[in-house]
Structure 1
Amino acid sequence: MPPEQTFTPPSEIDARIQGLQASLQQEGVDGALIVQNTDLFYFSGTIQQAHLYVPAEGPPLLMVRKSLERAQDESPLVNILPLPSPKKLPDIIDEHGLKPPAVLGMELDVLPANNYFAYRKIFPQSDIRDISVQIRTLRAVKSPYELDLIRQAAAFSDQIAGLMPNLLQPGMTEIELAGLVEAQARRLGHQGIARMRLFGAEMFYGHLMAGPSAAVPSFLASPTGGASVSPAVAQGAGFRKIQRNEPILLDYVFAWQGYISDHARIFSIGRLPRMLVEAHAHMLDVQEHVKKMATPGTTTGDLYEAAVEMAQEKGLAANFMGAGDDRIRFIGHGVGLEVDEFPFLAKGQKTKLQEGMTIALEPKMIFPGKGVVGIENTHVVTPAGLRQLTRAEEQIVTV
């Protein structure tokens, strides 16, 4: 068992900073100001309330409002300084011998508009540009250190799937089962928070639903939604009692030491109708085909089209990755510190796979009034294709 808390090694932070600086130099950006929690953690090892300034050349500055002492304990960066006010950012940068940035890169995909206008006043001479794509592209390829943490998260995902048959009882509600599963996940060290980058996207562990309620669509960029406990949540488990002979979807994220494993498995109390069993088997075939195709250099949009073609050949296109107008146009997404990382295996995407990318591949069938079947696993891109990290039983588990 790893230690209770894992601090990011200095060599990791150094390599990430160097990668960012190379990108800044290539894009003609003088410096980057990092403020979003996930990116702060990636580049500094802490999410304390801080601003990380990374010049195109030279050592970075981590300027902290709260808590300075904790940031100094958690981050291996050398220059960790108090920040009395964001208005002092230019002064601190100047005091450390760094030129004022003529071009300043920021995470404009997640920065609130009011904050953006405030930074324009703080840096009136700077042209503020978006560097979110460069940051997300850099984060998409995982180091051996990151891959080890994702493997650990995947092993915990498998443990949670293995506990399901012992927790599942006829007549219990979806939310009751979800509570039992989530308690076991927390016992194992699940961090509770599953971070998402997309504006308005949020998730609590994932989706655990059964039968028709699992096929209820929702706002989330996901093939599944769920009836949920309230319109205020509009996704996930609800108060419906789990019935016999219907598919039970366990689609949960395990977040360990910041890093995420995403997987889905199907359970049932009693046998499922033949139609659902066959649809599930077809999704396993789609998974295996895409895994073999997904070698470095493959275009992610081509993987999506190959999966859609397989669904069409089996007459399943109308329910593949959703039904009707609620169908989504992707079959997988990157995972790491966030659930929705680069790359996306989506319609029209031109991204080329690189060795070391981590991808949650999730071919699923959504049948309104009946339920959801399919599979999801976390993988790493290798020269031979996708190597699967989550390994729990993939066939429908009948209790």
Structure 2
Amino acid sequence: MSRREARRLGLLAQAQGGEQGAVLATARSSVRYLSGFTGSAGALWIPAEGPATLVTDGRYEEQAGVEVEPPALIHIGRDGWIRGVADVAADASGPTLFEAESLTVADYESLREALPGMAFVPRRNLVRELRQVKDDEELRAIERAVAVAESAFDRLLAAVDWSSSPTERDVATALEAELRRGGSDPLPFDPIVAAGERSALPHATPTTRPIEAGDLVLLDFGASVDGYCSDITRTCVRGAAEPWQIDIHACVLEAQTRAREAIRAGAPGRVVDGAARGALARHGLDGSFGHGTGHGIGLDVHEGPSLSARSEDTLRAGNVVTVEPGVYLPGRGGVRIEDDVLVEEAGSRTLTRLPRALIGL
């Protein structure tokens, strides 16, 4: 039995809960996870019994034939994927569970019109729950994505003439080129490069602001290999660091270390988040940390489990999560340190190898 066939059977067993029913996967990453199909237009129908069917269109007929392994079938729709699903599922009975996060209201209504006798039941985390625990092949892909991102970052630091005051956008463009040159598939997200006071914006978009002497520079970047993502952040300073910059970097590094130390199978996500927040609170900086401590990564750069104060997730061996506390001081600057971490039974293994020290440019 192939890995993907085992995943589909596991999904049915998990989703059905003892009752007969089908599953419709529509999220691009879920379709890839369950079928191997990497195209941008497709849905996967998994009946309660019998082979799954990938529904796509004529643009992907040859590609699907290469990527989708038997016993899964391929249906080439001529009037859109909804009509294709209706053709494949016309004789099915029982409810169909679908991914609530990835289906629009308009498509849901169209499905009901196309299959009026079928009950469509939304389910949150329908496939994402299964995807959270990575197998060995997935872990190897994530580790390669980490290595590609780290090598690109090292080359960037050496290649840029920092004394010329390059702009944030110049550096982001160079970093993106290094990531692609180093072997990344389509980037999982646009790199973040934020300098000076703009480093206090956690998700800043690079601008034409020049990077000047004395600026903190926050760089958040990642690569993808075989569809699997990495997500890394490092904070630099151009020239000599000021005492306040050294101090907040040390506080964030302490918080990040405490959070990584709290990671193990069975640990609640909110406990890991609390470890980071508690460390910052001891320095009076918890009020300057406004986002969660981390999130899962895999085929999507943001997936479960969550590491936040409101998380209801419990970590399991095989999860890969980011650990990324930060401190953001409006008008002055910010620091974030982010690593990718594998959850193990008795602890964790940090996949990121870049130094965490404040990097001088």
Match of 2:322 in 1: 360
Q: Is 1:58 the equivalent of 2:78? A: no
Instruction: Choose from 198, 209, 213 the match for 2:198.
Output: 213
Match of 1:350 in 2: 312
Does the CA contact (< 8 Å) of 1:246 and 1:268 recur in 2?
yes
Q: Is 1:111 the equivalent of 2:107? A: no
d(CA) in 2 for partners of 1:38 and 1:192?
A: 14
Instruction: Choose from 131, 148, 156 the match for 1:139.
Output: 131
Match of 1:385 in 2: 347
Greater alpha carbon shift after TM alignment, 270-279 vs 161-170: 161-170
Q: Which residue identity does 1:352 align to in structure 2? A: T
d(CA) in 1 for partners of 2:331 and 2:85?
A: 56
Q: Is 1:279 the equivalent of 2:248? A: yes
Q: Is 1:308 the equivalent of 2:300? A: no
CA shift digits 1:54-107 (9 cap, x unpaired): 12333211222131111111222431232233335344345xxxx513211111
Alignment of 1:240-255 (within 5 A): 240-255=209-224
Instruction: Choose from 147, 159, 165 the match for 1:167.
Output: 159
Report deviation, 1:137: 0.7
Q: Is 1:291 the equivalent of 2:266? A: no
Match of 2:118 in 1: 126
Report deviation, 1:390: 1.0
Does the CA contact (< 8 Å) of 1:190 and 1:256 recur in 2?
yes
Change (3 A) 1:51 1:317: closer
Alignment of 1:19-30 (within 5 A): 19-26=10-17, 28=19, 30=21
d(CA) in 2 for partners of 1:19 and 1:192?
A: 29
Does the CA contact (< 8 Å) of 2:200 and 2:335 recur in 1?
no
Match of 1:155 in 2: 147
Change (3 A) 1:167 1:372: farther
d(CA) in 1 for partners of 2:93 and 2:213?
A: 64
Unpaired segments ≥5 residues, structure 1? 1-9, 195-202, 217-223, 227-235, 321-326
Does the CA contact (< 8 Å) of 2:259 and 2:275 recur in 1?
yes
d(CA) in 1 for partners of 2:354 and 2:276?
A: 22
Match of 1:41 in 2: 32
Partner SS, residue 46 of structure 2: strand
d(CA) in 2 for partners of 1:242 and 1:91?
A: 57
Match of 1:225 in 2: 203
d(CA) in 1 for partners of 2:127 and 2:47?
A: 14
d(CA) in 2 for partners of 1:273 and 1:259?
A: 38
CA shift digits 1:347-394 (9 cap, x unpaired): 122211100000011011111122221310011101232211111111
Does the CA contact (< 8 Å) of 1:28 and 1:103 recur in 2?
no
Does the CA contact (< 8 Å) of 1:149 and 1:257 recur in 2?
yes
**Number of aligned residue pairs:** 354
Greater alpha carbon shift after TM alignment, 85-94 vs 266-275: 85-94
Does the CA contact (< 8 Å) of 1:44 and 1:77 recur in 2?
no
Q: Which residue identity does 1:272 align to in structure 2? A: A
Partner SS, residue 134 of structure 1: coil
Query: Considering only aligned residues, what root-mean-square deviation do their CA atoms show, in Å?
Result: 1.8
Q: Which residue identity does 1:38 align to in structure 2? A: S
Does the CA contact (< 8 Å) of 2:151 and 2:182 recur in 1?
no
Match of 2:288 in 1: 319
Q: Which residue identity does 2:67 align to in structure 1? A: E
Does the CA contact (< 8 Å) of 2:327 and 2:336 recur in 1?
yes
Partner SS, residue 125 of structure 2: helix
CA shift digits 1:207-242 (9 cap, x unpaired): 1111112223xxxxxxx022xxxxxxxxx2110000
Give the share of equivalent positions with the same residue, in percent: 27
d(CA) in 1 for partners of 2:203 and 2:43?
A: 36
Question: Which TM-score applies when normalising by structure 2?
Answer: 0.93
d(CA) in 1 for partners of 2:352 and 2:339?
A: 6
Does the CA contact (< 8 Å) of 2:187 and 2:222 recur in 1?
no
d(CA) in 2 for partners of 1:253 and 1:333?
A: 14
Q: Which residue identity does 2:102 align to in structure 1? A: V
Report deviation, 1:341: 0.3
Report deviation, 1:27: 6.5
Greater alpha carbon shift after TM alignment, 278-287 vs 82-91: 82-91
Partner SS, residue 298 of structure 2: coil
Q: Is 1:80 the equivalent of 2:71? A: no
d(CA) in 2 for partners of 1:212 and 1:29?
A: 57
Q: Is 1:191 the equivalent of 2:185? A: yes
Partner SS, residue 223 of structure 2: strand
Report deviation, 1:188: 1.3
Partner SS, residue 381 of structure 1: strand
Q: Which residue identity does 1:213 align to in structure 2? A: R
Unpaired segments ≥5 residues, structure 2? none
